[in-house]
Amino acid sequence: MPNWNRTQLGDQPVLGLSIDYPIALDKSMKTPFDAEIIRKDFPAISLHNLAYFDNAATAHKPQVVIDTIRSFYTTENANVHRAVHHLSQQATFKYEESRKIVADFINAANEREIIFTRGTTEGINLVAFSYGSLLEAGDEILISTMEHHSNIVPWQMLCERKNCVLKVIPINPQGEIIEEKFEELLNEKTRLVAITHISNTLGTINPVKRLVEKAHKTGAKVLIDGAQSAQHLCIDVRDLDCDFFVFSGHKAFGPTGIGVLYAKEAILEKMPPYQTGGEMIESVSFSKTTFNSLPFKFEAGTPHIAGAIGLASALQYISQFDRTQIAEYEKQLLYHAERKLSEIENIRFFGQSKNKASILSFNIKNVHPYDLGVLLDKQGVAVRTGHHCTEPLMDFFGIPGTVRASFAFYNTFEEIEKMEFALKKSLRLLL
């Protein structure tokens, strides 16, 4: 029996959550999800007596991911796409299988649309450089107030290079995109809308499908920053109809140094290479070089082979569960934290969108977020403090930073109560 049922948790909406869930699960043949059980899959969680609430920065890795990487280096280890020897062929097979697993995970039409990158940041830089080279002076790019620096600076640099214009979609005080303003900003000069799926600071889930539809009406392409959504939502890039989707392995329980750029094949075909060198070429002579086919055109040099294989195992790990059930559980964690913390005097939450992921940002009057972060850590609670790489968003709220607790499916209600207790104790020391 799960420890998170309606009767314990009060009257918040509990979409689709029912106590007899194993019956529902029989239909989808998924592993029953129970936070107490899956915690045991994450060795770093068991090792520390720490409520780890910094999942929006990076998530812990299940043992299967660690074993997969270790096994690759221990028993296989060869370069890909190069040699005839069997180890290389095996590495190539696994690397390309991983690409298929990623393609399935986000429902891409085929694996040529999956480019392995170092992470979200590199994915956005790739698009800004390569798709950006197709833009002309006066073309417009739209981003929003709540973007991560990774989804701001590459566009600023592109606008400087190409004399394009960067425009910002405003948000309301609840931390939601103002859609009427978005529509006003869209016009025939808009070539790209680059927007986060879930705000890493506020938890807002943006209505990206609707935004894509609106952008496409004026002929603009859309890039979705999925750094916070790939691990929390079921992603279907064909249903969203986005042109680009980027995410990082390390936030989705996979290794660091690996990420994914999805793009529609027809767009990738038109884009020039981003980096050049080995692997991305078809033939090289000193007079002319022709480029390799997709996706290799965008993967110059030896890729992060073990990283890609590790990422695929992380995605398979989370796919064994009913993901909507995980999303429900995470929502319950968020509600529980909101309820518990709202008892604290002079607390202010940032991000009050109706549609939210399990990220809770807050400040307490007259207390610096950093001081709270340090005191919480001393009591075994890991949160993030600061601007969370969203300085323009901090300016919007007129604050230097927040305390951010971001939850994953291995967190528990007890851990949230530990945070509440630790927060109250810290405040007695500070105020």
Ligand X SMILES: *Cc1c(COP(=O)(O)O)cnc(C)c1O
Nearest approach in angstroms of CB 427 to ligand X is 28
Q: Site size for ligand X, by CB under 6 A?
A: 13
Q: Which of residues 87-146 bind ligand X (CB under 6 A)?
A: 119-121
Residue with smaller CB distance to ligand X, 146 or 375? 146
Report the residue from 151, 190, 332, 406 that binds ligand X according to the rule CB under 6 A: 151
d(CA 113, CA 103): 8
d(CA 427, CA 431): 6
d(CA 330, CA 311): 22
Beta strands in 85-217 (DSSP E): 114-117, 140-144, 165-169, 190-196
- Cβ-based neighbours of 352, under 8 Å, separated by 6 or more: 173, 174, 175
Report the residue from 113, 176, 225, 322 that binds ligand X according to the rule CB under 6 A: 225
Identified catalytic residue from 159, 234, 242, 389: 389
Residue with smaller CB distance to ligand X, 121 or 144? 121
Residue with smaller CB distance to ligand X, 246 or 375? 246
Name the pairing type of β-strands 281-284 and 289-291: antiparallel
Is 303 a binder of ligand X (CB under 6 A)?
Answer: no
Residue with smaller CB distance to ligand X, 228 or 292? 228
Is 248 a binder of ligand X (CB under 6 A)?
Answer: yes
Nearest approach in angstroms of CB 345 to ligand X is 30
CA 175, distance to chain mean position in Å, is 18
Is 229 a binder of ligand X (CB under 6 A)?
Answer: no
Residue with smaller CB distance to ligand X, 59 or 135? 59
Are 120 and 246 contacting, i.e. CB atoms less than 8 angstroms apart? yes
Is 242 catalytic? The answer is no
Report the residue from 228, 332, 402, 412 that binds ligand X according to the rule CB under 6 A: 228
Which one of the spans 38-46, 160-168, 225-233, 392-400 is the region binding ligand X (CB under 6 A)?
Answer: 225-233
Is 148 a binder of ligand X (CB under 6 A)?
Answer: yes
d(CA 164, CA 132): 10
d(CA 425, CA 431): 10
Is 227 a binder of ligand X (CB under 6 A)?
Answer: yes
Number of H helices, E strands in the chain: 17, 15
Report the residue from 145, 196, 358, 402 that binds ligand X according to the rule CB under 6 A: 196
Are 119 and 250 contacting, i.e. CB atoms less than 8 angstroms apart? yes
Q: Which of residues 362-421 bind ligand X (CB under 6 A)?
A: none
Residue with smaller CB distance to ligand X, 118 or 418? 118
Nearest approach in angstroms of CB 85 to ligand X is 34
Opening angle at CA 210, ends 206 and 216, nearest 5: 120
Nearest approach in angstroms of CB 227 to ligand X is 3
288: which 2 tokens? 């002319």
Nearest approach in angstroms of CB 234 to ligand X is 18
Are 349 and 362 contacting, i.e. CB atoms less than 8 angstroms apart? yes
- Cβ-based neighbours of 19, under 8 Å, separated by 6 or more: 1, 2, 5, 6
Show the binding pattern over residues 52-71: x = contacts ligand X (CB under 6 A), - = does not: ----x---------------
Q: Which residues are catalytic?
A: 389
Judged by the rule CB under 6 A, the positions of this chain that interact with ligand X are: 56, 119-121, 148, 150-151, 196, 200, 225, 227-228, 248
